Structure 1
């Protein structure tokens, strides 16, 4: 048990059947189960009250930045889970233990989720709705042929890979096709995301999306046996591998039809895989201008149409560019209309009605159109017109490799009690986009922001994020699942800090070691074992690089 991460990691110790009841415990070098976020507002964190309506304005609250390290530790939460023939007890204080699983505690064969369970799994796989006014969904333009072809292939049980450059609207098309295929397979539609996920990770993700198996991680043979009985349309965006690894995934799931989304640089499927290829390019000029008008919420002026035509030529019709261009024009409209057009959240108000005439500038009220260079790389200009909290969020995202912290973390990280509204600003401008159940900076945005100086204090930002995540992940009220949802941000912070010595000479452990000790047990208990392994490795390497013999012995 313990899979790859536990054996030889130096943080779990096995106990034989004949040993005494005085358990031999190994220090879990990087302890701490993840807390239910102390800022958790239940349904409100997804932008809605429990009744499904838009959330009301929240009263001011104290900044949480002063909370780091000041809460009295509560009792640690231990978790027991089964993997193969072994029972793992994850204890962030006394250490984790591996022992043969008693027959009475062996789980029965996992059953499939019922319809309600699948609906809950589907909800959990979606990103939270940003706070603030709901943003109108832009239509899917000029993609009907691709849509019909994808649905037709999936209905015949074929697997297909949709290949398009970042910003081509691939994810939006996958979402629509998933809705079209809702009734095609007995186990419905399963949505997965392949960003930084291996074939084995995705096979486990598929297993848990279909089966009711809490605290149970099947070994490979049982996993494959269960996967062979899954009959679903699997929509897998951001695929990062092809070739033999993709063959293994397909061979393990013969009753599934996959719809993969990938960029052109991802290795192709093998010749014998039977995976169909559908290419997704940019929009034509007319569709691009139509999308821009939808994004800005009004008809374009002649100058704006000419400007958009130049942008279409430069961008090759990538839809993301026109979503961002629409945000630039909305910002320009607000600047021309006056400062009073910004709502209480710092987000630009809803677009004008479709039948409203274009703005006619008056003397002294003209704001020039962005240059073609600014439209081609719009992130710095867009960000400069957002709230201070939104810009601070962008700095954290750049420091975390493009990962945007969950909106519930933003008030503590940024130091603004209503900084969670920044996510709505960024999403409305096309600067961030959904990746599985979280948000990342949109394609091209990280490089544009780095060039504008947003990475100048990246190490300090990563250290601040690590301090916050260490406190949060070590809080017993936070569930392991919540910590696993932030795994990519946590692991990137570890990758930045583990090669560095502590910023404070008196800080004996350092932020990297504290974060690894807090997050690793949560990853283990949340069954995200690839993240567990990486956290263990990072936590062990940090004291080695710092020459801290005592910490090396502890780990």
Structure 2
């Protein structure tokens, strides 16, 4: 089955109207066509074109990336040139336009190109620029190693042309290099590049020329295109119209006979009006040929009827024009106005199929469909010859691999009524192309040839803003965009996606709009624009999330993860982590899942890992200044996070200074450790176990040394907490509850503590002589406390320190007699010779006990043990 023609049994084949619905697939089967997926390599990515859920992109495995492509040979390049040229339709009766009065320009261009210089030929549309370029290209076949390369700049960007140049020289199927590799490859191309109908100039042209230093360019442009810069070193050649004699010679070649005297006068007037543009004389030649054909048609019946007499003059009773040669007098020459605007007159003498082709071309903005599509569009099996009539009439001109209306033709046809009903015709063309591009037998390269007609059909339907037109544009975009991507015609791919996204928005088709956003994101990622890729993919994921499209959402999230992976960067040094892992502006950093920063202290950030990641997760905001962190403040912050909770409230050494408050540095460190509360709790527990183990060991050692002392407390006696605390160097929590035993606010962390008297043989200074034992009797060995002591007589039997020691104990010359009640700032010596050390120990209230006269003497005689 030929997808460009109807089968006899297909509906619409014998439709009475000239515009049948050209979607034959609708009447055959409800089974959807098989999905055609194509896998190609784009730079570092492996791209799978999926027309259903959206293209899938992933890093290219090493085995999938092709080697450096090979150069094409001369025969292969010549075959590509023949394939890229627009085909000559069947039935074309035109002629090859000769190169008249261009010999001087032709020799100059060939000479400059042989020297390696680039030239730009500037002239108005219809001046014969393409004909001159063809002649010069034939003269330069052997000048460069890579020969002559023909490119079309019609609706092409500099990037499109660079990739087309790459494909013309290198053999790389299903591979699209990235920007760096593309520039490196085209920099080694040595060819004469003939670039017709360029549409850009200035800085863009300079960048294009700089990318190909080994090529000599022959460029043609109209005066409306921006001029090259002064530093481009392009030679300028302006192409004017033909002279009067040259115009008459061209008209005689177009008519294929010598001109009559009246025709020569008419041609002279036309030359003065048209300024000698060759296109106008090609169209004038078409008018004269049509006139000759009409005269021949009128003369033939007269000869067959035998109405002419022997003298060859007309019978007086006969009808005018019924004699040999008399019919020519009845068909006058076109007027000067008709010669200046000959399109309407030429079109009126064409076949119905040709006029219908002109209507479709006007509806498509001047783009002519391929001749193989005309039978399906016009509803005539012989409509494929219509394009030949248009070429012979000078109404169409080549534009790359296809044809378009010549300059000024569309405007003259629209004024003659050919633009009526163009919305319906554009919709019919879109429906036909939607069926054709989605057919499995149509190669993507064939779809790329029709890119301009397809894109103009989409644009016309989107601009119409009529009911039902947007849905047709969406259908065409969904069918054509995968083919454009597979054919590596990514300029057309992007334009089709933009048209499809706008059409889906107008039609209210959310699923299709999400598809186009996804494809635009993948395209932006492949072309090196991660910011646009992120925006498009996030829009697609959001729309598909609303629709509960799981497969599409998964495809979008995979592509977005790749964008995030490619755009991540190292975090800035010298910063601290903020709560919640967010930046100072409150936004999640894009590289938060993969980058690390230096932790403020060891053992905290290194112990936390995200189960889903293989690297440490530390997201840090930047701060203006960096404050030196003291180990005392760090341990105090640990105490706050471990004992007091996230707000640092509660008892223990971690409660802030001056009634539980925190310093600014402590608050910052507490914020840093808030997200690692579980780790700090575990660390604090381990530290507590270590401290308790040390206390127990030291207590056992102290108890073993005091076995023979008679001044120790017996098991049956009650003892105060002071006895249990002799082997500790950590701070003790303060108690403001007095005898109730409730804990009070602790002192500030980092304050020096009083030295202990581990292993001392002196009795405890806090024991009362009347403290009862377990049997109700007073202990004979208990000594009364010192008169200066304010410690309570009883305390809880156990001691659980909440924080590790902040500073080493201060050694003293003599052991203290009593623990200090308030944290003094310096050491003082009592009149009896006792020394009281600086400490931040707990201050409690208790009832005073009578002291014994030998208390101070006993304390003074006890040995001093430095901590």
TM range (shorter): 0.7 to 0.9
- State whether structure 2 residue 260 is matched by structure 1 residue 301: yes
Within a 5 Å distance, the mapping from 1:108-147 to structure 2 comes to 108-132=67-91, 135-147=94-106
Call closer, same or farther: CA 1:168–1:250 in 2, change over 3 Å.
same
Is this contact kept in 1: 2:23–2:431, CA < 8 A? no
Asked if residue 98 in structure 1 is aligned to residue 62 in structure 2, the reply is no
> Alignment partner of 1:510: what SS?
helix
Larger Rg computed on CA atoms: 2
The alignment partner of 1:98 has SS state of: strand
User: Alpha-carbon deviation of 1:168?
Assistant: 0.3
Question: Are the counterparts in 2 of residues 87 and 101 from structure 1 also a CA contact under 8 Å?
Answer: yes
The residue number in structure 1 matching 2:249 is 290
User: 1:30 corresponds to which residue?
Assistant: none
| Secondary structure of 2:26's aligned partner | coil
CA distance in 1, matches of 2:150, 2:249: 30
1:404 aligns with 2:368: yes
For residues 470-528 of structure 1, give each alpha carbon's deviation from its aligned partner in whole angstroms, at most 9, with x where no partner exists: 01111111111111111111111111112445645xx9x71100000000000100101
1:516 equivalent among 444, 456, 477:
477
- The residue number in structure 1 matching 2:387 is 423
CA contact (8 A) 1:499 1:545 kept: no
- Aligned partners of 1:443 and 1:500: how far apart in 2? 24
Contact 2:23 / 2:435 at 8 angstroms: preserved in 1? no
Residue 367 in structure 1 maps to residue 335 in structure 2: no
Contact 1:283/1:319, CA 8 A, preserved across alignment? yes
Q: Give the unaligned 5+ runs of structure 1.
A: 1-34, 41-60, 342-358
- Note the 1:286-365 alignment, pairs <5 A: 286-338=245-297, 361-362=325-326
SS at match of 1:453: coil
Matched, 1:251 2:215: no
Q: CA deviation at 1:98?
A: 0.6
Structure 2 Cα separation of the partners of residues 171 and 325 of structure 1: 19
Contact persistence 2:92–2:389 (CA under 8 A): no
Matches within 5 A, 1:164-243: 164-243=123-202
Distance in structure 2 (CA, Å) of the matches to 1:177 and 1:200: 25
Residue 75 (1) aligns with residue 39 (2): no
**What is the number of equivalent residue pairs in this alignment?**
481
For the structure 1 residues 205 and 185, does the alpha-carbon distance in structure 2 shift closer, same or farther, using more than 3 Å as the test? Answer: same
- Residue 548 of structure 1 deviates from its aligned partner by 4.0
CA contact (8 A) 2:427 2:457 kept: yes
Distance in 2 separating the partners of 1:374 and 1:412: 33
Alignment partner of 1:281 is 2:281:
no
Gaps of at least 5 residues in structure 2 are 7-12, 301-322, 517-867
Aligned in 2, Cα 1:363/1:235: closer, same or farther, shift over 3 Å?
A: closer
Relative to structure 1, the CA distance from residue 155 to residue 176 in structure 2 (aligned partners, 3 Å threshold; closer, same or farther) is: same
Q: CA–CA distance in 2 between the matches of 1:552 and 1:130?
A: 39
Distance in 1, matches of 2:439 and 2:345, equals 39
8 Å Cα contact 1:311/1:375 also seen in 2: yes
Give runs of aligned pairs for residues 383-394 of structure 1, distance below 5 A: 383-394=347-358
The 8 Å contact of residues 144 and 190 in structure 2, kept in 1 or not, is answered as yes
Contact persistence 2:299–2:324 (CA under 8 A):
no
Question: Does the 8 A contact of 2:94 with 2:393 survive in 1?
Answer: no
Cα deviation, residue 546, structure 1: 3.2
Map 1:365-514 → 2, pairs under 5 A: 366-501=330-465, 503-504=467-468, 510-514=471-475
Matches of 1:498 and 1:251 in 2, distance apart? 38
Contact 1:68-1:468 at 8 Å conserved across structures: no
The two structures, once aligned, show a CA RMSD in angstroms of 2.1
> What do the CA deviations read for 1:283-304 (whole angstroms, capped 9, x no partner)?
0000000100000011111110
Higher relative contact order (CA 8 A, sep 6+): 1
